[in-house]
Amino acid sequence: MHGTSTLEEADRLMTVCNSCRYCEGLCAVFPAMEMRRAFSDGDLNYFANLCHACGACYTDCQFSPPHEYNVNVPKTLAVARAESWAAYAWPRSLSGLFTNNGLVISIIAALSVAAFIFALAALNDRQAMVGIHTGPGAFYALMPHGAMAALFGAAFLYAIVALAMGVRAFWRDIGEPIGMLADPPSLWQAIKDAAELRYLDGGGVGCVNEDERPTDRRKIYHHLTFYGFLLCFAATCVATLYHYLLAREAPYPLWDLPVVLGTSGGIGLLIGPAGLLLEKSKRDPVLVDEKRTGMDVAFTLMLFLTSLTGIVLLLLRETSAMGPLLALHLGVVFSLFITMPYGKFVHGLYRFVALVRYARERRMTAGTV
C-alpha cells in the first residue's frame, strides 16, 4: 500500500516497465527502476524527480493508450513529482501554496510590486520619485542600501533555509543518510548530468512534442534559462563584492562586470523562458499534468519578468522613469525570492539530488564505492 493513489499508479506502471524494460536506454529512471524488485513511496518519489519529462517513453511504449495497460509514465511521474514537492515543503503549513500555485504566485507578485511602489512613494517626495538620478548611489537615493540589503538578504536567507529543509525531507524520504550527499564522485557526475541536461534528450533523439517528432528546442531554451539565471546570480554576487570590498556603489557603467554578466544573463532569461512557454503550448496534452500548468507558467513568467524589468531599468535608469521602474523590478525580484521554495523552482534542486543518488547507485552497482 502506498500513501497516495498517484503512487499506487506509479507502482503499477513501474511493475509493468520492470517486466518490459524496452525503455532502459532512454534515461536514468528505467535503470534505477531495474535495480529494484519492489518500490517504496520514497523509491517512486525518487523516480519521479529523476524523470526529465522528455516524453520519449510514452511515444515509444507499445502499452500506452488505447492499450488496456494504459501506460503513461511521463504524466504519472509528473503528478507524483508535484505531489512530492508539496509533501517536502517547509514549513509544512505552507505546502498548500503548491495548490493553485499560478494564482498564488500572481497574487504575491502583484502585492509585492504594489508594496514596493507604495513604500518608495511614501519614503520619497514626488520630485525624488520621478526625478533624474545618475552616477554611483543613484538607486539608493530612493531606497537606502542598508534597507535594500536587509530586506533582500532576509528573503534570500529564508528561501535558502526552506529549500534546504525540503531537500532534507526528500533525502530522508528516499532512505539515504544525509552524509551520502557529500560523495564527491557522485556529486561531480550529477553536476555534469545536470549541466548538460543529459536526460532531456529522450535517449539521444530529443524531447517529444505534440507531433511526436523529437526536437532539442526545449533543451536549448532550458539551457538559456538556467545559464541566464546563473549569470544574473553571478552579477549580483560581483556587485555585492564591489559594494563591500571596493566601496563602489551601483549603478555601474555598461562595460563593467556586473552589468555585462547581468545583461548576458538577462538576454538568456528573456529568450529561454519565452521559448519554454512556446514549447509548452505545443506539448502533447496526454503528457501534461494539466492541474500544474499554472505552476509551470507562473514560475517561467516570473523569470521572464525579472529579466524584462531589469533590462528596461538598465536602459532607462538615467531618465525620470527610474523610480517607478526600480520599484517594479524590486517587487518582481522580491516575490521571486519568497516564492522560490513553493513553486517550480524546486524541480532543479530535487532533480539534482536524485541525480546524485543515481550516480551513487551506479557506482555501488559497479563496485566502485
Find the part of the chain contacting ligand SF4 (CB under 6 A) among 12-20, 172-180, 242-250, 297-305: 12-20
Question: Binding to ligand SF4 by residue 288, rule CB under 6 A?
Answer: no
CA 359 to chain centroid, in Å, comes to 21
Instruction: Look at the block and give the residue holding cell 500506452.
Output: 64
DSSP letter string over 177-189? -GGGGG-HHHHHH
Kindly tell me which of 45 and 335 has the beta carbon lying closer to ligand SF4. 45
Question: Binding to ligand SF4 by residue 53, rule CB under 6 A?
Answer: yes
Question: Binding to ligand SF4 by residue 10, rule CB under 6 A?
Answer: no
Q: At what angle are helices 73-88 and 145-173 packed, to 10 degrees? A: 120
**Count of residues that interact with ligand SF4, criterion CB under 6 A:** 26
Question: Binding to ligand SF4 by residue 117, rule CB under 6 A?
Answer: no
Indicate which single residue of 2, 4, 16, 256 sits in contact with ligand SF4 (rule: CB under 6 A).
16
CB of 236 to ligand SF4, least distance (A): 32
CA 270 → CA 10, 196, 246, 330, distances in Å? 36, 20, 31, 17
Question: Binding to ligand SF4 by residue 39, rule CB under 6 A?
Answer: no
Q: Nearest CA to 108 among 277, 289, 299? A: 299
Kindly tell me which of 20 and 234 has the beta carbon lying closer to ligand SF4. 20
Question: Binding to ligand SF4 by residue 26, rule CB under 6 A?
Answer: yes
Question: Binding to ligand SF4 by residue 48, rule CB under 6 A?
Answer: no
Q: Nearest CA to 267 among 221, 228, 209, 241? A: 228
CB of 68 to ligand SF4, least distance (A): 13
φ and ψ of 238, to 5 deg: -65, -40
Find the part of the chain contacting ligand SF4 (CB under 6 A) among 17-25, 181-189, 310-318, 348-356: 17-25
Cβ–Cβ under 8 Å, residues 158 and 338: yes
The DSSP bridge pattern shows strands 207-208 and 214-215 to be antiparallel
CB of 66 to ligand SF4, least distance (A): 14
Indicate which single residue of 71, 162, 327, 359 sits in contact with ligand SF4 (rule: CB under 6 A).
71
Q: Which three cell numbers stand for residue 232?
A: 544574473
Indicate which single residue of 32, 46, 49, 74 sits in contact with ligand SF4 (rule: CB under 6 A).
74
Question: Binding to ligand SF4 by residue 79, rule CB under 6 A?
Answer: no
337: amino acid identity, one letter:
F
Cβ–Cβ under 8 Å, residues 306 and 332: yes
Binding site for ligand SF4 (CB under 6 A): 16-17, 20-23, 26-27, 29, 51-57, 60-63, 71, 73-74, 77, 199, 202
